[in-house]
Chain A
Amino acid sequence: MSEIAAAEQIGFPILSTLVFVPVVTIIALGFVRSERALRRVALIGALVVLGLSLLLVAGFRRGVSDFQFAEQVPWVEAIGVSYHLAVDGVSVLFVPLTALLAVVVMLSSWSSVRYQPKAHLMAVLAFETAAIGVFTAVDLILFFVFWELMLIPTYVLIKVWGDGPQRGRAAQRYVLSMLSGSAGLLVGFILLGVSHRSAPGSGGALSFDLLVLMDSAVPAGTQTAVFFLLAFAFALKAPMFPFHSWMPVTLLEGPIGMAVFLAGLKMGVFGFLRFVLPLAPDAFSAWSWLIGVLGVVAVLYGALIALVQINLRRLLAFASISHVGLAMLGLSSLNAPGLQGALFLILNLGLVSTGMLLVAGFIHQRVGSTDLPALGGMAQRTPALAVFALVACLGAVGLPGTSGFPGEFLILLGAFRAYGWLASIAVTTVILAAAYVLVFFERSFHGRIRGTVVDAATDLRPREAITAGVLGFSIVAIGFFPAAVLDFSSASVDDLVGRLDPASTIAADD
């Protein structure tokens, strides 16, 4: 696997800058006292990251599968670990998405988080650093460091600023779940490094470099072990049925801001695309039926449970589980449309889940609850919020004209190609999604006003309207111009499909 150096493309280490601007902002926050200034400094930091990430996207070379903006510094040479950052078509768009979500979280907490705002902003920025690290690290050990670093701000954010009474327990449950996966993740990475040492052409040296490992053949037995170790960790994170039980609890108890990160950044699915597929391709192909079956079960299970929820946050949690199932089904089809679709779907979820969670947050702030019986007739008092909610809802259903559609269509295309008519099961997800999302919309926004709190609710304030407007616009714009996203990923996805099964690239081109 080849790479293009950052020095050659842009002249400065842009990825490191992206990772460390939030850290610098955290330090700067230490010197600021007034609450107003705190929020401004933090927002400026987040906006700088967003601007840089757009610069990254603008400079990205499309149509090639190379890793780009690469920078590498030896770190622990004795065991072949280096500080190595780079992005390719699979990962590049997650950087602006993370940056956007960080800005959204800050804006949405502007007036709602009153307790310890400085610590809150620091935690959000720390999470941003770790998350960008996760998406850009191409050294396995470096990735693992960022992966584990995310846990600390996540724990603190849920524990301290959660909305529910059980937030402490939810935070603990989340961290324990993740740790149980990451132990295996580390073992899997070490197995890969060791296997490379004994491979011909490695000179007997350990390496944890993704680009090196991608070119090194891994024996079948090792691949199977690596597959299960990595898949378990990523399935927990995704979350993939049946490892999903932390998700509803966390979304219900945790703060909306954290929920935006957890539901919006599908790092588990990303992990599959980034590490499992290229490093254990034969094992993934062999076990893809399992991924597909679990995906379909998740799709149906999540949607059916979502259908009977009366709390919006729990509904969103199960919807998220259902959507991840659909993405996994896309991966399991092992062809270009399926993989493209999965990638597109999780990028879209970054916008749509965030939109839905913001709606939940806006409602919570106004009505003090996200239980459906307390709502009803909101559209009469909050028409702008209703329009934004409708756009997010249509995106979640995956109707054409929204960013939800291309991913879904591609996954269906991939699944029909791989499984024939059996894939029609996947279509039921879309129908069920339409049912639970639209029932929610109808019951909360339509009909008579039932509560006095709803009656007194105010519409979106300017800051909220800007956030909602940016998200709503992105959802519709990507729906009409999906090529803007697909152009970035297609070369890398084709490369991945070639690794999975050299024969299938030819089949996918027809």
Chain B
Amino acid sequence: MDVTGITPLLALLAPLLGAAGVVALRHRTPARELSAVVAGTVQLGLVATLVPAVRDGGTVSFTLSTFLPEASIALRADALGVVLGGTAAVLWVLTAVYAMGYLGTAPGPELTRFHACFCLTMAATIGVAFSANLITLYLFYEALTVITYPLVTHTGTPEAIRGGRRYLAYQLGCGIAFLLPAIVVTYIQAGTLDFAPGGIFGTGAGDGLLVALYVLYLLGIAKAALMPVHSWLPAAMVAPVPVSALLHAVAVVNVGVFCVLRVVLDVFGTDLFGELGLRALTLVVASITILVASAYALRLDNLKGILAYSTIGQLSYMILGVALLSPGGRTGAILHLVGHSFAKITLFFAVGSVYIASRRTLASELRGIGRQLPLTMGAFAIGALSIVGLPPTVGFLAKYFLFLGAVEAGQWAALVVLSISTVLSAGYYLRILRSALFDAPVAVPAGGSDDSDGLQRSGTVLEPGGLVVGPLLVTAAVTVLLGVAPGLLLGLIRGVGG
């Protein structure tokens, strides 16, 4: 049932108020940090109240203002939006807690800016999730770019500034050069920008034009990190771990994939998408991205670099899944959007935990660290198993649906790609796990590869405090929980029309 309601707007306002709270309480830690946690919890509660309304394909809409005829700034929560918004909200709360442990709660403008931008990032993410049309989507999409820039450059080192500049150039450049014209042409061709299950183009638009338009969308949505517009993601790795977790698991990349899903399902529609032959095009691009990224990750030693390239590959799983145009493929894509978020954030949290405990950042330095950091590396193992796609994790379930979708669609080549990629990702994750969990510990000279902070190293490596370990245990638990009890989530995904 389609109803009008204010809840989507409230879910957008909660993080805005959180940001205001962070600034207002800037001299009072940890009240400053708690403001973000409270806002996240409120947002999560608001998104949760939307579940009953959307799980059977209903929507909750709220129009903010009219922009053009047939193009307002409007919010509309549907099942797909609630999946993205809910995932983001859960992980935001956990990341906010983790950030308190990782970055500390020292007073000062840097952390105030960090937490305020963090809140605004969530506002933009919810905005994208609940966009009713392309104009609103573009608004929050670009807002997300601008507001995450200070987070990427948080440390202020020349390296961070360089990485941030590349991040901004890719995101803004692609957004303006490709996404904006794509939206303009869509408006001219379709006469509307409002998302509609089944697509918005009537008859009469030329096939060649629509194919070109779709390519513009793929290039414009750089946040989905499809090759060749992926290289901002490794560059953004200069950020602190909570930011990487937020960018690579929660906000930015999920928004990218979400936008592609919206374009495929609610702008083109699966029927037109199939008629235009866009399935083959998308499958080829996604397959190349999957294989190249996975192969590249094999050669890396830097942990964050491995996770970045792993992310690039996994995002294309989702795009591949939806492009299969079969029910299983779509379910797998959306399930993977959620499952990958929990698994990947677990991995990032664990890498950050290792860094706090030992200042190590390279895969080759992790030999035997599992004995010293059993909780951290246990969680890491669960995250890695989920990405590889082994039971009982949610990653297995997602991969099962993707395989099913490929069979349903008769896309045997996609099956081969998925299989090869599974082997490749098993290669780079199991290598780390084997050495961390089963090899005897070795003394890493001077305590690690990164001694730029001049901290005193001690020989003993201990688990960091509960603020760091707690969130990563929760995300690891959810990764398993969604694998064994996926009922609620699958019910929600069934509400995604198209």
The chain A residues found within 8 Å of chain B, CB to CB, are 380, 383, 394, 399-401, 405-406, 409-410, 412-413, 416-417, 424, 427-428, 430-431, 434, 438, 442, 446-447, 480-483, 510
> Given A412-B184, A413-B187, A416-B185, are A431 and B173 neighbors across the interface (CB < 8 Å)?
yes
Pairwise interchain contact B187-A400, C-beta atoms closer than 8 A: no
Pairwise interchain contact A438-B168, C-beta atoms closer than 8 A: yes
- Among residues 160 to 195 in chain B, which have CB atoms less than 8 Å away from a CB atom of chain A? 161, 165, 168, 172-173, 176-177, 180-181, 184-185, 187-188, 191
Residue of B nearest to A393 (CB): B146
Pairwise interchain contact B191-A427, C-beta atoms closer than 8 A: no
- Among residues 52 to 107 in chain B, which have CB atoms less than 8 Å away from a CB atom of chain A? 64-68, 73
Pairwise interchain contact A424-B181, C-beta atoms closer than 8 A: yes
Contact of A399 among B146, B156, B161 (CB under 8 A): B146
Q: Kindly specify which of B135-143, B255-263, B319-327 makes contact with the partner chain.
A: B135-143
Residue of B nearest to A484 (CB): B65
Pairwise interchain contact B188-A401, C-beta atoms closer than 8 A: no
> Given A412-B181, A481-B65, are A399 and B142 neighbors across the interface (CB < 8 Å)?
yes
- Expressed in whole angstroms, the minimum distance between the Cβ of A393 and any Cβ of chain B is 10
Pairwise interchain contact B67-A482, C-beta atoms closer than 8 A: yes
> Given A400-B135, A430-B176, are A413 and B165 neighbors across the interface (CB < 8 Å)?
no
- Indicate whether B487 reaches chain A with its CB closer than 8 angstroms: no
Chain A neighbourhood of B109, CB < 8 A: 380, 383
Instruction: Write 24 A-B pairs (CB below 8 A) sorted by A numbering.
Output: A399-B142, A399-B143, A399-B146, A400-B135, A401-B142, A409-B180, A409-B184, A412-B181, A412-B184, A413-B187, A413-B188, A416-B181, A427-B177, A428-B177, A431-B177, A434-B172, A438-B168, A446-B153, A446-B161, A447-B156, A447-B161, A482-B65, A483-B65, A510-B191
Pairwise interchain contact A427-B180, C-beta atoms closer than 8 A: yes
Chain A neighbourhood of B66, CB < 8 A: 483
Tell which of A401, A410, A447 has the most Cβ of chain B within 10 Å. A401
Pairwise interchain contact A400-B177, C-beta atoms closer than 8 A: no
Q: Mark B195-212, 1 if CB is under 8 A from A, else 0.
A: 000000000000000000
Count of CB-CB pairs between chains A and B under 8 Å: 63
For the complex of A and B, list the 5 residue pairs with the smallest distance between their C-beta atoms, beginning with the closest. A400-B139, A483-B66, A481-B65, A412-B184, A430-B176
Q: Compute how far the CA of A417 lies from the CA of B173 in the bound complex, rounded to whole angstroms.
A: 23
Pairwise interchain contact A430-B67, C-beta atoms closer than 8 A: no
Tell which of B153, B168, B177 has the most Cβ of chain A within 10 Å. B177
Q: A400-B143, A438-B168 are in contact. List 17 more A-B contacts (CB 8 A).
A: A400-B142, A405-B139, A409-B184, A412-B180, A413-B184, A416-B184, A424-B181, A427-B177, A431-B176, A434-B172, A434-B176, A442-B161, A442-B165, A447-B161, A481-B65, A483-B66, A510-B191
Residue of A nearest to B110 (CB): A380
Q: Compute how far the CA of A399 lies from the CA of B124 in the bound complex, rounded to whole angstroms.
A: 14
Chain A neighbourhood of B67, CB < 8 A: 406, 482-483
Q: Compute how far the CA of A438 lies from the CA of B142 in the bound complex, rounded to whole angstroms.
A: 14
Chain B neighbourhood of A482, CB < 8 A: 65, 67
Q: Compute how far the CA of A380 lies from the CA of B153 in the bound complex, rounded to whole angstroms.
A: 14
Chain A neighbourhood of B135, CB < 8 A: 400, 409
> Given A394-B146, A400-B138, A400-B143, are A480 and B184 neighbors across the interface (CB < 8 Å)?
no
Chain A neighbourhood of B73, CB < 8 A: 480
Pairwise interchain contact A401-B143, C-beta atoms closer than 8 A: yes
Tell which of B67, B161, B177 has the most Cβ of chain A within 10 Å. B67
Residue of A nearest to B185 (CB): A416
> Given A417-B188, A434-B176, A482-B65, are A401 and B181 neighbors across the interface (CB < 8 Å)?
no
- Expressed in whole angstroms, the minimum distance between the Cβ of B393 and any Cβ of chain A is 38
Chain B neighbourhood of A401, CB < 8 A: 139, 142-143
> Given A383-B109, A417-B188, A438-B168, are A427 and B143 neighbors across the interface (CB < 8 Å)?
no
